[in-house]
Amino acid sequence: MTLNYIDNKDLYPSRKGKPPKIYDRIDPVVYSNDSESPISSQLIKKYKKNGYLKIDNFFSPEEITSYQKELEYLLKADYVVDKEKIIREPNSHEIRSIFQIHQISKVYKKLSKHKDLLSLVKFLLNDNIYIFQSRLNFKPGFRGKEFYWHSDFETWHVEDGMPSMRAVSISIPLTTNTYENGPLMFIPGSHKKFISCQGFTPINHFRRSLKQQNFGVPDDLHLSELINQNGIESMICEPGCLILFDCNTIHGSNSNISSFSRSNIFIVYNSIKNKVSQPYSGQSPRPEYICTRKKIEPII
């Protein structure tokens, strides 16, 4: 148990109107003993070092086919989805993301409870877990815009009130991810530091940030420092791959100006002990479809 759980003190201050600063991470990266791991100790060591892990062929071809079919259905049948949960590109108005997919889709709800996936996530967090957020991310050919460098935890901490770094994100590519179509990119080792961001959070910031984020992004100087030290790795992979990454790992992706679309499933698992409280920004909480706050259902 970290100090965050004891006194609810903001140990990762950000967007307080002060110059950006790098803080050392206080929380563990893996909360279980390595001997209990469902995967090899070498892979766990790699995850601890880099803050992310790519496992090829994690899902069967049959599973991926069902996920892809559901993707096509949701893209063409947005009338079945609450319009508020659909985020569109600012200029083309094509679908950028669909939130709360584990509630919308029976296929993705089943995926969110995938036995091997849960085994790995529960090992990393060493606690009962629930789904903090889920969504489909789309990058249509020629018009899919970038996701700028950011730490998810910085946003979830400031805008949602997530106290500590005890959450894991998973990304499942449903299309081939190449260098050309805007793959997920990570800065290795960036999860070990916390970069506080400049400025203050605008009211209802989520209405703009989900389309294009301008607040809660690291400054150029500290980003350059991390990149110069550790480099950048692009997640080039095929459907069936599983990508896990720590909630504080800095990541982003380029615009897709190729003719090949790029679509990923994104699910965030959070520890029950790490439930959100009042946002550290002091503002009203974001909607439930972005941050599970009221309807927390532990995954048994």
CATH number of 3-274: 2.60.120.620
Cβ proximity of 141 and 259 under 8 Å: yes
Amino acid at 82: D
pLDDT digits (tens, 9 = 90+) for 264-286: 999 999 999 999 999 998 888 99
Q: What pLDDT is stored for residue 208 in this prediction?
A: 61
Burial class (CB in 10 A: 0-12, 13-18, 19+), 286: buried
Q: CB neighbours of 23 closer than 8 A, spacing ≥ 6? A: 11, 12, 193, 194, 195, 196
Amino acid at 76: K
Reduce the DSSP state of residue 3 to 3 states and report it: helix
Q: CB neighbours of 157 closer than 8 A, spacing ≥ 6? A: 12, 14, 163, 280
pLDDT digits (tens, 9 = 90+) for 156-213: 999 999 999 999 999 999 999 999 999 999 999 999 999 999 888 878 776 665 555 6
The reported pTM is 0.92
Q: Is the pLDDT confidence value at 1 over 50? A: no
Q: What pLDDT is stored for residue 145 in this prediction?
A: 78
As a 3-state breakdown, the chain gives helix, strand, coil percent values, each rounded to 5, of 30, 20, 45
Burial class (CB in 10 A: 0-12, 13-18, 19+), 221: exposed
Average pLDDT, the chain: 90
Cβ proximity of 77 and 89 under 8 Å: no
Using CA atoms, how far apart are residues 300 and 297, in angstroms rounded to an integer? 9
Give me the residues paired with residue 97 across strands. Answer: 87, 137
pLDDT digits (tens, 9 = 90+) for 60-99: 999 999 999 999 998 876 656 677 888 887 776 778 889 9
Q: CB neighbours of 294 closer than 8 A, spacing ≥ 6? A: 288
The full set of domain ranges for the chain reads 3-274
- Retrieve residue 132's tokens: 């903090």
Give me the residues paired with residue 277 across strands. Answer: none
φ/ψ bin of 51: left (φ > 0), alpha (ψ from -120 to 50), beta (otherwise) = left
